[in-house]
Structure 1
Amino acid sequence: MPELPEVQALVQVLAARAGGRTVRALHVTSFPALKTYDPPPTALVGATVTGASRHGKWLDLTTTTPDGDLHLVFHLARAGWVRWHETAPAGVPKAGRSGLAARVVLDEGAFDLTEAGTKKSLAIHVVRDPADVERIATLGVEPLSPEFTRERFDELLDARNQQVKGLLRDQGVIAGIGNAYSDEILHAARLSPFALTRTLDATARDHLYGSIGGVLEAAITAAAGRDAAELKDVKRSGMAVHGRTGHPCPRCGDTVAEVSFADSSLQYCPTCQTGGKPLADRRMSKLLR
């Protein structure tokens, strides 16, 4: 799933390539992906792209029309991506081909919103204000913003006693962090993903707070200036534990372990994060009951 660093890099790609260009067409080929109908997608035709930004893991393309600004806002979900075309493909795209969900045709170039797999969760909105999208309006604090202070972080940790992995991934608490970067942040902070938030002492909280900024900023730096097609590989190559089950931990050399759930998994280093103790695999534990 694209998370904050990749989404920020995609914002930069779209700002550089689509900025100042005119929308010629918006073809939606996966109709369940379109979540709004007023304004209709056709309202973007003739609009000028005037900016690109990010809200958590949501991308926001701002366009200007004679009637005011409109926003093409989209969430790439678990398997979505952006594919840029220097020259717009000819013709109207057909539904169900190559995972294509939508194509935005500009006066120069075009970009596709694609989604792999059978579970389709990509979401596209055309709105007058990004806050009209409920999941944007209810986002938590941006972790690299001035509002994300050490004091604010304490408030979030103390709000309820929950597993720290869950807090980091909760978009209503902290916006933009998903499964991969929460694994990386917890590894950097030397914390178990199952540690309870209210049990963390001041030192652990300091390390976790610093790791959030350090991991995300390093990933943003690594992704900056890359083409969209390169970003997935850049993300994978920068991971210390996520997606590296069975490989040595780059810090201590212990074998990276995994906990599997119904539709996801997490990775961690036993030596660095859990005092050498393996965490129970929730999927296997359920089967053995």
Structure 2
Amino acid sequence: MADDTKPVERAYVEEIGEEPRLPGHETELDPKPEWQPRYPGSGRLAGKVAIVTGGDSGIGRATAVLFAREGAKVAIAYLEEDDDARITADAIEAEGSEALLHPGDLGEPDVCQGLVDKVIEKWGRLDVLVNNAGEQHPDKDVTDITVEQLQRTFQTNIFSMFYLVKAARPHLKKGAAIINCTSVTMYKGSAGLLDYSATKGAIVAFTRSLSESLIKDGIRVNGVAPGPIWTPLNPFGGAPPEKVEHFGEDTPIGRVGQPNEVAPSFLFLACEDSSYMSGQVLHPNGGTIVGS
């Protein structure tokens, strides 16, 4: 049981040692996640510039490469997994597009501002912001959650979204889109991921409120709430080994989802196909029925 009761008096918390293998390298996963786009592009993001956070692996990689296939130039933000990020960049370039890599902790406002500044310097515009980066730390009881872990989880999962939106806002024009990644855990709860689930609830509230704030300027804000998806997040410490062994089997579909089964939801919300949608959340979760 954690005995840490002192408040955290810093605006930024360094990486914690709860799960030292996080965030994990996709190159080490077996089996490998399926991230490759499943269908030809149709130019739905032609001429657009996108930022995808957590774009080195998993859902972020699948989304970034799909965006590139649809014509977008893509900036990838990631923590420290240079090998995974390089694979993503190579895949973007193989689609005939351009990539920009930006390592760093998005829980620091200066890192977020630096990312946006690099994008504007390189491409002169920003059309789509995908807030996908996140972290989680499993605990059996609320008393096991340290103050540092609590603040770190909120810092990565929701504070970073505020920082990035603030940095991006001056460059987002009419027709721009913001897509935030929440989770099925926001809707059904998760006994072992109390702090993580709480951040995902905050993301839904942020998404709906930000939509109300920006829609008058023609900027749409929506969310995606994936279910269990095969990415490095859970196998490298984000879930207990016994849960990873049967990950996704409790969904109605009966299996774990793949990143390229989630990326099309982000694409739909990023392009004009969803021009009449804002403040909404899509649910690629294996058939779990949840409230909207």
Structure with greater Cα Rg: 1
State the structure with bigger RCO (CA 8 A, min sep 6), 1 or 2: 2
Coarse TM-score class (shorter-chain normalised): under 0.3
For normalisation by structure 2, the TM-score amounts to 0.25
For normalisation by structure 1, the TM-score amounts to 0.25
Return the structure number with greater helix share: 2
